[in-house]
Amino acid sequence: MRYVIPAPMLAKAAAAVPDPAKTTGGLLFEPKWDGFRGILAWDGDSVEIGSRGAKPLTRYFPELVDAALRLLPGPCLLDGEIVVATGEGGAQRLDWEALSQRIHPAASRVTRLAAETPAMFVAFDLLAEGDDDLLDTPFHERRARLEKLFDGVDHPFHLTRTTRDRDAAVRWLAEFEGAGLDGVVAKPLDQPYAPGKRTLVKIKHARTADVVALGYRIHKSGSGVGSLLVGLYDADGVLRQVGGVAAWSDKRRQELVTELAPLVERDESGEAVTGEGERSRFSGAKDVSFVRLRPERVLEVRYDQLEGARFRHTVQFERWRPDREARSCTYDQLDTVAGYDLADVLA
């Protein structure tokens, strides 16, 4: 048999953990894993891993391919998350940076990292088993079959934990962030699998911070502000880039060019000074240069998580803060999250 990998089912954001009593059939709550979404297909002969963006992930995680061939009891199509954990026993947490390093063109590097920072696959849905297509099957039945399939399946495959108790989900939202998780997902128990549809609910951590505007990149259209780069001062007084703000409307992109013009750094000839932004393995040959701004203007942004010294995702603009001095925008204002051992989440 040959499985067709579907687009993954998606989630829409909510501000709070929903009440199961207000959803027909009830809800099942799961931790929201912060990794690469993966649809893993094992047809009995070979393994293929597809991503949320239709990018094949199979070659980047040979240890998961090998483990699937050894551990999975029969042909199946799994929906889950690929994650990497680092840290000593009792203080492990998800490591996004280590995970992102796995996407590399060199096979030798992929092989080395597969041994040094092996990945795990955390399964949370079963889309097919044997000859049975389960996409139209209610989630509570898919979950029951997934639990039965995973009975006895060992590391690096894990079955995500679940609860129907809203209070427990609220507690997970607070505690599991310490292990590097991203929030909580609520899934209607009676719904079929809906590829590409946002029928699930995700509740993520949302916080605000005052940051300094460092510069901006021109929009890909060639006109207006595409993204605004922002920074924070560290303990040594060094201003460090921590992320970017995007998603401006066409009109607002043009307005920002005018508003920020007085802050543009210029050389002796009057030309705007540009800088080179930080590259990631996802940027490829993309132009990461930006127009430098004098670090004087402060804005408040919404963010969900800090990864090392940078915001984990693109942040959202909240408002300008003319009342704040740029030098007052330090890392000290950010929330400190209590540690939580990843092993306790996987248990």
Asked whether residue 343 is assigned to any structural domain, the reply reads no
In a domain, 123, yes or no: yes
Residue 13: what pLDDT? 84
Q: 191 and 264 share a domain?
A: no
> Residue 96 has what pLDDT?
85
Whether pLDDT at 262 is above 90 = yes
Residues taking part in catalysis: 32
For position 52, what pLDDT does the model report? 76
pLDDT > 90? residue 314: no
Q: Is the pLDDT confidence value at 189 over 60?
A: yes
Q: Are strands 119-129 and 157-159 parallel, antiparallel or unpaired?
A: parallel
User: Residues 197, 220: one domain?
Assistant: no
Residues linked to residue 301 through DSSP beta bridges, in sequence order: 209, 317
pLDDT at 158: 98
Domain count, the chain: 2
Q: What is the mean pLDDT of residues 322-341?
A: 83
Q: Which of 188, 204, 220 is the last residue of a domain?
A: 204
Of 150, 184, 204, the one marking the end of a domain is: 204
Lowest mean pLDDT among 24-28, 84-88, 266-270, 295-299: 266-270
**Nearest-5° angle of CA 327, CA 330, CA 335?**
155
The string of pLDDT tens digits covering residues 154-185 is 999 999 999 999 999 999 999 998 998 989 99
The answer on 24 and 35 residing in a single domain is yes
Q: What is the DSSP string of 114-177?
A: HHHS-EEEEEEEEEEETTEE-TTS-HHHHHHHHHHHTTT--TTEEEPP-BS-HHHHHHHHHHGG
Q: Pick the more confident residue, 68 or 90.
A: 68
Q: Are residues 254 and 132 in the same domain?
A: no
Domain that holds residue 93: 10-204
> CA–CA separation, 191 vs 152, rounded Å?
27
Residues 140 and 42 in one domain: yes
Q: What is the mean pLDDT of the chain?
A: 90
Share of the chain above pLDDT 90, in %: 67
**135 plus 253 within the same structural domain:** no
Does 84 score more than 90 pLDDT?
Answer: yes
- Say whether pLDDT at 53 is over 80: no
pTM recorded for the entire structure: 0.75
The CATH number of the domain holding residue 89 is 3.30.470.30
Classify residue 118: in a domain, yes or no. yes
Q: Are 198 and 262 in a shared domain?
A: no
SS3 319: strand
* Domain presence at residue 73: yes
What count of residues does the chain have?
347
- Show Cβ contacts of residue 288 under 8 Å, excluding neighbours closer than 6 positions: 217, 276, 277, 278, 279
Together in a domain, 46 and 153: yes
Q: Give the domain-ending residue among 158, 175, 204.
A: 204
